[in-house]
Amino acid sequence: MMVIRPIRADDYPALYDIAVESGHGFTSLPVNEELLMRKISRSEQSFAKDVDAPGDEGYLFVLQDTQTGEICGTSALEAAVGLDDAFYHYHLGKVVHSSRSLGVYKTVDILTLCNDYTGVSELCTLFLREKRREKNNGRLLSKMRFLFLAEFAQRFSDRVIAEMRGVSNADGSSPFWQWLQEHFFNVDFPTADYLTGIGQKVFIAELMPKYPIYVSLLSKQAQAVIGHVHDKTKPALALLQSEGFSSRGYVDIFDAGPTVEARVEHIRSVRNSQRLQVQIGPVIQGQPYLVSNTKLADFRATWLELAVNEQSEHVTMPAEVAAALQVSVGDWVRVTRI
């Protein structure tokens, strides 16, 4: 059985392996022992906090195979971004150049450096190991965060974003960054990406162009990738779009990958989730559901087929699933259709 739980200190070796496997462009998991240990410690502290409003908390989860004990992936939630370090984006906007006397009217795309998402919550650090990309593992790893958002709404903003990995080559080079590097930096993309991942963002404020960039002045290769995602990220983007996430023109400052957003109450899995009381027994016929307990530090989530009666306040599940979720008869769980 695959179960989601909060990360623990003894998960470090598995987290390091996942960081290595995730490769270039996965800023939130740098291959750095100190930073990874700090992420685990911060997550443990966040789960232990008594919180009534979003602050500098980060909740990191792992997907574990209960039969083998193997850690198969990670995902995370940031309560409020940009409260400590500045949180940068480019916003893709337009300016109009017009002259009535000359009969000229031209719309031009521009990229403007901004911090517009300061204070919003973020879905991040989603990575499923390649050999485990099967069945509903990916959906579980991504969508279980919506159950957590629904259950602990006071810990998060009313708006949530997700930065999608942009286009980069196998060697880690980004067509968008190559243009920036040529004109403004002497730092390659993997290095800049790594520095951001370990929290060294001062160079962004020091070296990034302060004025809007005319998109037409970028190389054709750079223009072509603005707002597009890495091939391996397309399934994750499609999943979020099916939940109601959309882009409002914000892109990453390094690889120009899109950032998508949604208000929490508009997210499909949040809106359609139900709180039900547990009954133990066999499931005769059912549909695939995500199900989580309603505990914080002992949060658990999995997926299984359930027969959910919308008119009932109860749900029946097998004893082994209840044990994995650490719930008993009469306890509450939250469920939503996959």
* 312: CATH: 2.40.40.20
Per the CB < 8 A criterion, the answer to whether 336 and 308 are in contact is no
Which pLDDT value is given to residue 168? Answer: 84
What is the DSSP track for 14-26?
HHHHHHHHH-TT-
Which pLDDT value is given to residue 171? Answer: 72
Q: Are residues 253 and 325 in the same domain?
A: no
Residue 311 belongs to a domain: yes
Q: Are residues 123 and 51 in the same domain?
A: yes
Q: What length does the chain have? A: 338
Residue 21 belongs to a domain: yes
Q: Are residues 260 and 281 in the same domain?
A: no
Task: Look up the domain containing 40 and give its range.
Answer: 2-81+118-174+225-269
Beta bridge partners of 271: none
Residue 32 belongs to a domain: yes
Q: Are residues 129 and 233 in the same domain?
A: yes
Average pLDDT, the chain: 91
Out of 89, 97, 230, 314, pick the active-site residue: 230
Tell me the one-letter amino acid at 94.
Answer: K
pLDDT band at residue 24 using 50, 70 and 90 as cut-offs: low
Q: Are residues 74 and 141 in the same domain?
A: yes
230 is catalytic: yes
Classified as helix, coil or strand, 12 is: helix
Q: What is the mean pLDDT of residues 207-232?
A: 90
Q: Are residues 72 and 162 in the same domain?
A: yes
Which pLDDT value is given to residue 286? Answer: 86
The mean-pLDDT minimum among 67-71, 86-90, 198-202, 260-264 falls in: 198-202
Q: Are residues 305 and 244 in the same domain?
A: no
Per the CB < 8 A criterion, the answer to whether 188 and 181 are in contact is yes
Q: Which of 59, 32, 5 has the alpha carbon at shortest distance from 196?
A: 32
Q: How far apart are CA 59 and CA 46, in angstroms?
A: 6
Q: Are residues 294 and 168 in the same domain?
A: no
Q: Are residues 9 and 129 in the same domain?
A: yes
Q: Are residues 10 and 69 in the same domain?
A: yes
Of the three residues 269, 296, 327, the one that is the final residue of a domain is 269
Per the CB < 8 A criterion, the answer to whether 77 and 123 are in contact is yes
**Residue 25 confidence (pLDDT) above 60:** no
Q: Are residues 61 and 143 in the same domain?
A: yes
How many domains would you assign to the chain? 2
Residue 306 belongs to a domain: yes
Per the CB < 8 A criterion, the answer to whether 257 and 280 are in contact is no
255: which 2 tokens? 């690889």
Angle among Cα 158, 228, 233 to the nearest 5 degrees reads 75
What is the DSSP track for 70-84?
-EEEEEEEESSTTSS
Cα dist from 157 to 86, 149, 259, whole Å:
17, 9, 16
Residue 208 belongs to a domain: no
303: which 2 tokens? 């997926």
Which pLDDT value is given to residue 312? Answer: 86
Q: What is the mean pLDDT of residues 35-48?
A: 95
Q: Are residues 259 and 311 in the same domain?
A: no
Residue 281 belongs to a domain: yes
Q: When comparing pLDDT for 135 and 125, which is higher?
A: 125
Beta bridge partners of 124: 76
Residue 201 belongs to a domain: no
Q: How far apart are CA 166 and CA 231, in angstroms?
A: 9
Which pLDDT value is given to residue 111? Answer: 96
Residue 68 belongs to a domain: yes
CATH of the domain at 35: 3.40.630.30
Of the three residues 269, 298, 322, the one that is the final residue of a domain is 269
Tell me if the pTM is above 0.95.
no
Question: How much is the CA Rg of the chain, to the nearest whole Å?
Answer: 22
